[in-house]
């Protein structure tokens, strides 16, 4: 639409991030504060910001460091949290979410960031950006705090699709491996398949089938398959990548959020108990802040949609400016690493393996 402006935000070697200003619970002011924070930290960033121009212009004008680095792309409508994905697909052409994805589709931006309705964002992403060749079901890769050297584990699917059959789970293993390599520089990621126990006879039939398929691909691809893992391994050190369906992944993720909230509430109450405990809390403050920084979900904010022609970072709906900034940082790093291209190559090689019948055997065997 306004190619002239876009050229200016691109600047010399800037990486352009397409940002949906309207998706978050906290409104566009928080999104603008977040990208302003990112712009301050990283001179190589430029933005295309999507939403109602009249609302966005004064917000951007207030942030001097965004001058010349943030183009506003007018989009009158907003995808609401309660909108059904199929409705957004049919009637959402004028929404900020649609417009934000369009900038990735037409090559103006490398990555799209949105805090909006996950289901709608996923469906629009799949339809507008299309699935990578050979991918059955795209997934959301999310990060868990852990004591592994990289500080995080990757879980997928975090909630893109409530279903996943054995072949999907095998591809999630490949996608997670690619993400771990490009996001954390792990040369040989350890992959686990989430189940109710580590014994091979436990769990649903499709999990036993997925176990065989993932094991067959580990030999040819470059990851270590540690087998079945349990819920406690999501924030644990047994593996770097945990594979599960989107229903289970979403419940696990929100359970962890709930536990974290409960602990932080109870810790606050415990330190309010008496004069001595309030005094202790002052002294303990730096230690507690170190802990908080280590596990702060805002620092790991940003589920990444895996398996599409283009990278989409889904920020938490309730993300504050720090959260938005973390999502932009992740988007920048993935754009820089050429992540999508590397993932495409990996899936292509696994698909070939699949086509020559080596893994397909597991599909037609007794386990069905």
Q: Which of residues 22-51 bind a copy of itself (CB under 8 A)?
A: none
Tokens of 55: 């609302």
Rounded Cα gap, residues 96 and 69, in angstroms: 19
Q: Please identify, using beta-carbon distances, which residue of 83 and 354 lies nearer to a copy of itself.
A: 83
Q: Is 248 in the site for a copy of itself (CB under 8 A)?
A: yes
- Binding span for a copy of itself by CB under 8 A among 17-25, 287-295, 304-312, 343-351: 287-295
- Binding span for a copy of itself by CB under 8 A among 69-77, 132-140, 289-297, 298-306: 289-297
313: closest CA among 175, 153, 140, 129?
140
Other Cβ atoms less than 10 A from the Cβ of 236: the count is 17
Rounded Cα gap, residues 249 and 255, in angstroms: 10
Rounded Cα gap, residues 92 and 278, in angstroms: 52
* DSSP one-letter code for 83: S
Rounded Cα gap, residues 144 and 303, in angstroms: 11
Q: Is 160 in the site for a copy of itself (CB under 8 A)?
A: no
What does DSSP say about strands 303-306 and 311-314: parallel, antiparallel, or unpaired? Answer: antiparallel
82-120: b (≥16 Cβ within 10 Å) or e? ebebeebbeebeebbbbbbbbbbbeebbbbbbbbbbbbb
Rounded Cα gap, residues 109 and 268, in angstroms: 43
Q: Is 219 in the site for a copy of itself (CB under 8 A)?
A: no
Q: Give the DSSP H or E segment for 144.
A: strand 139-145
Q: Is 275 in the site for a copy of itself (CB under 8 A)?
A: no
Site size toward a copy of itself (CB under 8 A) is 61
Choosing from 256, 319, 326, 331, the residue that interacts with a copy of itself (CB under 8 A) is 256
Q: Report the length, in residues, of the chain.
A: 368
Choosing from 246, 302, 303, 307, the residue that interacts with a copy of itself (CB under 8 A) is 246
Q: Is 91 in the site for a copy of itself (CB under 8 A)?
A: no
Q: Please identify, using beta-carbon distances, which residue of 34 and 203 lies nearer to a copy of itself.
A: 203
Q: Which of residues 290-309 bind a copy of itself (CB under 8 A)?
A: 290-291, 294-295
Q: Which of residues 66-85 bind a copy of itself (CB under 8 A)?
A: 82, 84
Q: Please identify, using beta-carbon distances, which residue of 49 and 97 lies nearer to a copy of itself.
A: 97
Q: Which of residues 139-158 bind a copy of itself (CB under 8 A)?
A: 145-147
Q: Is 232 in the site for a copy of itself (CB under 8 A)?
A: yes
**Measured at the alpha carbon of residue 248, what is the angle toward residues 243 and 250, in degrees to the nearest 5?**
95
110: closest CA among 172, 17, 27, 42?
17
Q: Is 236 in the site for a copy of itself (CB under 8 A)?
A: yes
- Binding span for a copy of itself by CB under 8 A among 5-13, 63-71, 108-116, 231-239: 231-239
Choosing from 279, 357, 365, 368, the residue that interacts with a copy of itself (CB under 8 A) is 279
Q: Is 220 in the site for a copy of itself (CB under 8 A)?
A: no
| Matching residue, tokens 């819920």 | 231
- Binding span for a copy of itself by CB under 8 A among 165-173, 210-218, 259-267, 312-320: 259-267
Q: How far is CA 136 from CA 169, 182, 310, in A?
A: 10, 22, 16
Tokens of 199: 């014994």
Q: How far is the CB of 136 from a copy of itself (least distance, A)?
A: 19
Choosing from 255, 336, 355, 361, the residue that interacts with a copy of itself (CB under 8 A) is 255
Q: Is 203 in the site for a copy of itself (CB under 8 A)?
A: yes
- Binding site residues, a copy of itself, CB under 8 A: 82, 84, 119, 145-147, 159, 162, 194, 196, 199, 201-204, 230-236, 244, 246-248, 250-263, 265-267, 269-271, 273, 276-277, 279-281, 283-284, 286-288, 290-291, 294-295
């Amino acid at each position: 639409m306004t190619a002239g402006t876009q050229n200016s935000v691109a600047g010399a070697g800037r990486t352009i991030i397409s940002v949906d200003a309207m998706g978050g619970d906290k409104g566009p002011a928080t999104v603008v504060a977040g990208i302003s924070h990112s712009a301050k930290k990283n001179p190589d960033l430029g933005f295309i910001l999507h939403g109602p121009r009249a609302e966005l212009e004064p917000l951007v004008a207030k942030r001097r460091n965004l001058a010349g680095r943030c183009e506003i792309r007018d989009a009158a409508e907003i995808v609401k949290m309660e909108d059904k994905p199929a409705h957004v697909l049919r009637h959402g052409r004028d929404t900020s979410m649609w417009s934000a994805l369009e900038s990735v589709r037409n090559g103006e931006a490398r990555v799209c960031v949105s805090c909006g309705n996950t289901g709608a964002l996923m469906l629009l992403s799949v339809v507008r950006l299309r699935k990578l060749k050979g991918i059955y079901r795209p997934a959301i890769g999310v990060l868990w705090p852990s004591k592994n050297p990289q500080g995080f584990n990757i879980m997928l699917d975090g909630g893109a699709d409530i279903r996943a059959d054995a072949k999907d789970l095998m591809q999630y293993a490949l996608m997670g491996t690619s993400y771990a390599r490009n996001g954390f520089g792990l040369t040989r990621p350890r992959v686990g398949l989430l189940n109710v126990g580590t014994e091979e006879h436990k769990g649903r039939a499709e999990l036993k089938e997925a176990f065989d398929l993932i094991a067959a691909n580990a030999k040819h691809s470059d990851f270590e398959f540690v087998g079945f893992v349990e819920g406690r391994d999501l924030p644990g050190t047994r593996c770097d990548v945990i594979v599960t369906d989107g229903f289970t992944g979403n419940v696990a993720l929100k359970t962890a959020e709930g536990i974290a909230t409960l602990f932080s509430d109870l810790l606050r109450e415990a330190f309010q108990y008496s004069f001595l405990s309030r005094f202790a809390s002052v002294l303990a403050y730096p230690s507690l802040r170190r802990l908080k920084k280590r596990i702060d979900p805002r620092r790991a904010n940003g589920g990444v949609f895996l398996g599409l022609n283009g990278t989409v970072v889904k920020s938490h709906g309730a993300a504050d400016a720090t959260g938005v900034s973390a999502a932009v940082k992740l988007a920048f790093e993935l754009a820089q690493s050429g992540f999508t291209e590397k993932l495409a190559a990996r899936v292509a090689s696994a698909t070939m393996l699949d086509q020559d019948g080596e893994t397909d055997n597991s599909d037609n065997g007794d386990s069905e």
